[in-house]
Structure 1
Amino acid sequence: MVKKGFPSFGITQCGTFVAALKNYNLPDFVLTLVAKDCNSDLLERGRIDDRLSSMNDAALELLHKVFVDCEEDEAGKYAQYRFFAYVSSMYHKCEVVVNETIPGKSKKNHKIPIAVLHNGMYIAVGFNKPNGHAVSKKDLKKFYDVVNDVKNGEHGTQLVDAIFGSSSGFKGEALVELEKLSKMREADPENKLNFKTANFENRIYSVTKC
């Protein structure tokens, strides 16, 4: 029996969203971020379908737009959620933090959109360009400089991966520049860093190691 005043299609639609979303690898921290954005409840533990079912309509609809329909929004938040989930999927049993402030060797505090820790040490950092023009040479040079500063600081000794994601593509000269900067490090094995670009197109990320 359907409760009075509660449309039956609402139940069906939410059930459909849960059925679709439970097949996706949705990291806990992304569910938490979406729940917070949508003022939704979220079961702390349990099966993924139970946790999804505990979320409100707005949160489920947002998750469906982001991960199933791969929609974009003007603010670039949808693309950011996808990038966070993508980075997280590469590092199992690691701690993932977002909007982390990490000091570099220069003593400057760098705000890192997503960072991965293993045994309390940073092993990967990620930046993302969710919208706007294609990633430029200037964008990747700044990315390299920030990562290099973090790597050379006391918190970056275990840092091995640096990923730059984009939903707007990359300019050819930008990729050439990052590859050139990356190759300059190869002479020093202790200072090695894997620079990767991840281009989101046709619903998937294509990764290139520079």
Structure 2
Amino acid sequence: MVNKGFPKFGMSQAGAYVTALKNYNLPDFILKLVAKDTDSELLERGRIDDRLQSMNDNALELLNKIFVECEEDKKGKYAQYRFFAYVSSMYHKCEVLINESIPGKSGKDHKIPIAIKSNGMYMAIAFNKATGNAVNKKDVAKFYDIADDVKSGEHGTQLIDAIYGSSVGFKGDALVELENLSKSRKDDAENKLEFKTANFENRIYSVVKC
């Protein structure tokens, strides 16, 4: 397959990107998001290396920055895409929804950065702080309230996980606050909800159950 964009890098650079990237578990929706961002073509189906080779130079370079080099950008989009890919890897054969609007028991529609569905029901919701200061108590309280409202609503009956990711760390009192809020919940099937934090540091996510 001939990629129209290859002359810019030369085959060796594009080939090196493909060789590196094909070892990463890049979900389909991430490839589509990056293709859209870079106005790139993308094979709908096929082996991962064939699909990567169908993308233009800008797309391959962006994927490399996000997943291989783990670079950051001012808007926090790179960190967001890494987080989306990480969350999706935790739930195999599930539907991944980006910027999903989910109504809670309160009647308010909550915009959820990434939600996971299985058999038409929400299983997990996740938020991520990509830029700015470390996650604080106020951030955590807001996250908990949203998760609790969604869980209590008719769309959250099967919700089992609420994940808060951060590329800027968590303040100690924020972690204590989330743990206390989590422990305050009833442990019956109707109310059970696992709260987890995912801290991105040294190019990997470390997940802690609260």
The aligned length equals: 205
2:33 is the alignment partner of 1:40: no
Q: How far apart are the structure 1 equivalents of 2:120 and 2:13?
A: 41
Q: How far apart are the structure 2 equivalents of 1:186 and 1:170?
A: 25
Q: How far apart are the structure 2 equivalents of 1:126 and 1:112?
A: 7
> Matches of residues 150-165 of structure 1 in structure 2 within 5 Å?
150-165=150-165
User: Structure 1, unaligned stretches of length 5 or more?
Assistant: 1-5
Q: State the Cα distance separating 1:12 from its structure 2 match.
A: 1.1
Runs of 4+ in structure 1 deviating by more than 3 angstroms, as ranges, are 6-9, 186-189
Tell me which moved more, 135-144 or 180-189: 180-189
Look up the SS of the partner of 1:116 in the other structure.
strand
The one-letter amino acid paired with 2:137 is K
2:164 is the alignment partner of 1:134: no
> Matches of residues 46-65 of structure 1 in structure 2 within 5 Å?
46-65=46-65
User: Structure 2, unaligned stretches of length 5 or more?
Assistant: 1-5
Q: State the Cα distance separating 1:62 from its structure 2 match.
A: 0.3
Q: How far apart are the structure 2 equivalents of 1:9 and 1:114?
A: 34
Q: State the Cα distance separating 1:189 from its structure 2 match.
A: 3.6
- Length-normalised TM-score, structure 1: 0.95
Q: State the Cα distance separating 1:11 from its structure 2 match.
A: 1.6
For 1:18, the equivalent position in structure 2 comes to: 18
Q: Deviations over 1:138-190 (max 9, x none)?
A: 00100000010000001000000000000000000000000000001144342
Aligned-pair identity (%) = 75
Q: How far apart are the structure 1 equivalents of 2:15 and 2:99?
A: 32
For 1:3, the equivalent position in structure 2 comes to: none
> Matches of residues 96-115 of structure 1 in structure 2 within 5 Å?
96-115=96-115
> Matches of residues 1-210 of structure 1 in structure 2 within 5 Å?
7=7, 9-210=9-210
Q: How far apart are the structure 2 equivalents of 1:140 and 1:166?
A: 11
Output the aligned Cα RMSD.
1.1
Q: State the Cα distance separating 1:8 from its structure 2 match.
A: 7.8
